[in-house]
Chain A
Amino acid sequence: MTLIQEIDYGTPASKAEKTVRLVIDGNTIEVPEGTSVMRASMEAGIQVPKLCATDMVDAFGSCRLCLVEIEGRNGTPASCTTPVAEGMVVHTQTGRLKDIRRGVMELYISDHPLDCLTCAANGDCELQDMAGAVGLRDVRYGYDGENHVKARQNGEANPRYMAKDESNPYFTYDPAKCIVCSRCVRACEEVQGTFALTIEGRGFESRVSPGMHESFMSSECVSCGACVQACPTATLQEKSVIEIGQPEHSVVTTCAYCGVGCSFKAEMRGEEVVRMVPWKDGKANRGHSCVKGRFAWGYATHQDRILNPMVREKITDPWREVSWEEAFAHVAKEFRRLQFQYGKGAIGGITSSRCTNEETFLVQKLVRAGFGNNNVDTCARVCHSPTGYGLGKAFGTSAGTQDFDSVEHTDVVILIGANPTDGHPVFASRLKKRLRQGVKLIVIDPRRIDLVRSAHIEASHHLPLRPGTNVAVLTALAHVIVTEGLFDEAFIRERCDWSEFEDWASFVADPAHSPEATEVYTGVPAEELRGAARLYARGGNGAIYYGLGVTEHSQGSTTVMAIANLAMATGNIGRPGVGVNPLRGQNNVQGACDMGSFPHELPGYRHISGSEVRDVFEKLWGVELNPEPGLRIPNMLDAAVDGTFRGIYIQGEDILQSDPDTKHVKAGLEAMECVVVHDLFLNETANYAHVFLPGSTFLEKDGTFTNAERRINRVRKVMSPKNGLADWEVTLKLAQAMGLGWHYNHPSEIMDEIAATTPSFANVTYQLLEEKGSVQWPCNEAKPDGTPVMHLDGFVRGKGKFIRTEYVATDERTGPRFPLLLTTGRILSQYNVGAQTRRTDNVAWHAEDRLEIHPHDAEQRGIREGDLVKLSSRSGETALHATITERVAPGVVYTTFHHPGTQANVITTDFTDWATSCPEYKVTAVQVSPSNGPTAWQQDYEAQATQSRRIAREDALEPAE
């Protein structure tokens, strides 16, 4: 294994189709028109010295090191800013160039510290490399003149010296080492799109400045790491590199945070991660990252990780550490006992959207083949199950239609119920780049999210709807499209069922669905909505991106169908730049759904009642499968309270914190006799567990994740599991303990089984992933290299299906007692229940969940910025601090669910999507009032959690049983 060195071509690739031929140092090379001379040289294998150029940003031409001579042209043009031309003859190394370059380097080095041996960038410094490349041997100017390097000079403080900024928890900014190439500034602008950095001053006084001469932490910086990656010196340097040293090998793997599925190089020293660096060839992220994937991996070695299996009789007992064998034997015995006593259906399992496809596949196999029932569900139940249902009905597949690259061809984006700058930051950066290039944006969201307006981007329309009225707004959009004749008749006639369209069109054309009629309850101004509809229908390639603000409603599935209707009616499906794109929340939630995690579906979304499908698995697994769908998570909990469901195996999910109506989840778990939690940490659910099986992180196992664009990405093991076993091995051994004759030596064998049984994965092998880097399903005989864009020539189900979408208001209503609407979401620095990110330095940005409230509502209640407030609903109450902001509309409050101390889900109700039981997290009627301290629930909860997390010390052990 070696360190993967990616080639830096200096300037971005040209997309031109026409090519030109030129000669560089005697080599003839053909490159696309618009390519820089620098890039063309690199493609010919000739590295022109450079400092301010790097291929993640546009050419700038400031360092004067990359000069070349071109026959027939005067002077020494910069190769980065000079485009190639037909017949050009370039010399990159002449006596004149050598002298100029050496002179330039002398100037740089005269104002740079000479501490290379003790510098953190030693071995990874482009300035050092360039000094070597140009043959710098002497600095005639000396080091005693004015400089930015020395803190004190001639016995006095040096006014130009600036101390290191160590405010960011993950990287430092040392202005003394800065050569003002402005790569960081351009990376922040062009790649990340935050514009947090600038060059302040001019001439010799030029400095990189975060914000207005602020520290990184107090500036607009979102810590995506693009500047650190761009920096050619140690000026911006990861603290982990400062602490550990340079990595010696690297492995390409996939981030385990959100559904974007960024590819990273895990740069290692032995089994220690030195840093995670986004991989340029990653097709989801194209070399970009966010603060979570880039920096927040420290949880993998956090002291809170549980490394030994533990068992206890009662949840009030302290935990007792046991061997793996004892733990497996105990679970097998208990599960068999429960099935004997209460029936086959008394136990079940929950698969994890954070684990690999292979691991998820094994858990559902354990339930179906081992438990002999179909009581398997997954956390997608609480996020994107309506996507699966809605898109399945309309198009025939339960997944997004595009790849992320599709946004490069989009003209108009509708963003509904998603906040990508926080939830899917790398996609947000790609979208923002397109917005700066002129793409139009329509935001449908109760909050004024950053994409509505922030530096250099502004939505054309923001429709600030009242939470819970998605269907009404989307149907009103359809009303405008139909009544104003903006639909694409040719597309509909060819690709959809015309009579179904006519039926749907007559439904949406009803004046009751007009923007003017619906404005009363949606709160969206009719004219704004009409403008948005016209823009989407007639603005060119229209793409819809949506998130949990669509699905987590009582009408989540209906909203998904309404989205599909809009896309079909306007012909925006089946080519690059258009489509319907769910932004999936977790790294492998797409994969978990694909792998048959739902009680009614076998892998590949095939209903369990189908005998041919069952037959495939029955033959391979040698068991008979139950044709009846099993229990969903909420039904398991109900059945537990009723006494018929007694045991559960939960892999990598914290249902107590993430699922709605915490009190009901708690009651269900408390009623069970054997709760097995398989996780990295003693999560909130583990407080009610009888067996704890330690889990492994994404760094410790092989497998695959499937991201929001159906892309199957490899996860590669870079260190041994600290708990001894990868998660797939734990499930495997548990199955073996239960008497199942399973044998897998490597996750690739599990993938082979998936491919053998699931048509959309038929061609997927680890070897193929090794060759291609990644593939998007369907990947089979018809599409051997995978499918970037779906429904190209026709819908998977045949004809696209238009479905009437009648708006039905949620039963959750505001009233005198609960006059405000609470909606929930997430924030950039934290991920989901926070189990991982709370155990990293990301807490520097978001140490607690806060309640966003509009100034009017705060004023009425006498609430000031930072006050502790009580948030109560019909379900429960909790206390948290308030932030007063106009991002939320009057009458709406907002919070996140990252911290167990807040327990936002104590507040949320048990209303769910009519089709899929996906909880209605996004709408809860609440009241907010000043508070003196934590609520009784929070105090009781804290006490129970502390009590439940005790681990008995070895010497104090009592004999087992």
Chain B
Amino acid sequence: MESRSADTDIASRTEAIVGRLKPLEGPLLPILRDIQREFGYVPQASLPVIANGLNLSRAEVHGVVSFYHDYREAPAGRHVIKLCRAEACQSMGGDELAERLLGLLGLDWHETGADRKVTIEPVYCLGLCACAPAAMVDGEVIGRLDAEMVDQLAKAVQA
């Protein structure tokens, strides 16, 4: 019963977002973006509501949501670290830094700690190759990462 009322809540909040953004040209991505802002992730229960609102099939909405890595299936931790894993950063020692950070956080890629403080994700190029290795923490980019900065970062996000 509880989960049903949670789904009803998701449905009505999703409907409001769909209703607001539907007039846009190509409204699906903006809707998904706002849903993620609203819930912190894209709840499965919102997909059929979006599909109905835009007169798409459930499958199509699922296809789009699952295509983009940035749409989450579950809420992220309080902080989100995206560490660049692309070629330039790898060549500048990104691999060691990545292992160090994962070790410090005790997490594997895409995981969120049990305390829900931090989520760690790989990202393939932040466009900061000149400042490699690079990362993005809660939307802010950081360049020229080194071991010391990684240690500080781990400490800061776990505080």
Contact = CB atoms under 8 A, between A and B. Distances in A.
B43 to A, nearest CB: 11
Given A199-B63, A200-B63, A202-B67, A212 B56 contact: no
A182 to B, nearest CB: 10
Interface of A: prevailing SS: loop
B55 interface: yes
A173 to B, nearest CB: 13
B60 interface: yes
B67 A196 contact: no
Contacts of B67: 200-202
Contacts of A457: 55
A699 B79 CA distance: 67
Contact of A456 (B44, B55, B58, B63): B55
Among A211, A212, A220, A457, find the residue whose CB has the most chain B CB atoms closer than 10 A: A212
Contacts of B57: 194-196, 198, 211, 220, 455
A209 B59 contact: yes
B47 to A, nearest CB: 6
B62 interface: yes
Given A201-B66, A202-B67, A196 B56 contact: no
B58 A211 contact: yes
Interface in A448-488: 453-458
Contact of A220 (B44, B47, B55, B59): B59
Contacts of A212: 44, 47-48, 58-59, 61-62
A746 interface: no
A195 B55 contact: no
B120 to A, nearest CB: 18
A455 B63 contact: no
A458 B55 contact: yes
Nearest to B48: A212
Interface in A187-236: 194-202, 209-213, 219-220
Contact of B58 (A199, A220, A453): A220
A194 B56 CA distance: 10
Contacts of B55: 453-458
Given A212-B44, A212-B47, A200 B56 contact: no
A349 B44 CA distance: 58
B62 A200 contact: yes
Contact of A200 (B48, B51, B66): B66
Interface in B53-77: 55-63, 66-67
A199 B67 CA distance: 8
A236 to B, nearest CB: 15
B59 A195 contact: yes
Among B44, B51, B63, find the residue whose CB has the most chain A CB atoms closer than 10 A: B63
Contacts of B51: 455
Nearest to A221: B59
A199 B60 CA distance: 8
Among B47, B55, B58, B67, find the residue whose CB has the most chain A CB atoms closer than 10 A: B58
A219 B56 contact: no
Contacts of B44: 212
Contacts of A455: 51, 55-57, 60
Interface in A432-461: 453-458
Given A212-B44, A212-B47, A198 B56 contact: no
B56 A456 contact: yes
Nearest to A454: B55
Among A200, A210, A220, find the residue whose CB has the most chain B CB atoms closer than 10 A: A200
Contacts of B61: 212
A209 B60 contact: no
Contacts of A199: 63
Contact of B59 (A197, A201, A454, A458): A197
Nearest to B44: A212
A194 B59 CA distance: 10
B66 to A, nearest CB: 4
Nearest to A220: B57
Interface in B21-65: 44, 47-48, 51, 55-63
A203 to B, nearest CB: 10
A202 B67 CA distance: 5
A195 B44 CA distance: 18
Interface in A703-724: none
Interface string A275-296: 0000000000000000000000
Nearest to A197: B59
B50 to A, nearest CB: 11
Nearest to B62: A212
A454 B51 CA distance: 10
A196 B59 contact: yes
A196 B61 CA distance: 11
B110 to A, nearest CB: 12
Among B48, B59, B62, B67, find the residue whose CB has the most chain A CB atoms closer than 10 A: B59
Nearest to A453: B55
Nearest to A203: B67
Contacts of A453: 55
Contacts of A202: 66-67
Nearest to A205: B66
B123 to A, nearest CB: 14
A222 to B, nearest CB: 12
A453 B60 CA distance: 16
A41 B69 CA distance: 40
Nearest to A194: B57
A457 B56 CA distance: 9
A457 B57 CA distance: 11
Contacts of A200: 62-63, 66-67
Contacts of B62: 198, 200, 209, 211-213
A202 B62 CA distance: 12
A945 to B, nearest CB: 41
B56 A210 contact: no
Nearest to B68: A202
Contacts of B63: 198-200, 209
A200 B73 CA distance: 13
Interface of A: 194-202, 209-213, 219-220, 453-458
5 contacts: A198-B57, A200-B66, A201-B67, A455-B55, A455-B57
**Across chains A and B, which 10 residue pairs bring their CB atoms closest together, nearest first?**
A198-B63, A195-B57, A212-B62, A198-B59, A200-B66, A455-B57, A202-B67, A211-B58, A212-B58, A201-B66
Given A200-B63, A209-B59, 9 more contacts: A195-B56, A195-B57, A195-B60, A200-B62, A202-B66, A212-B48, A213-B66, A219-B59, A453-B55
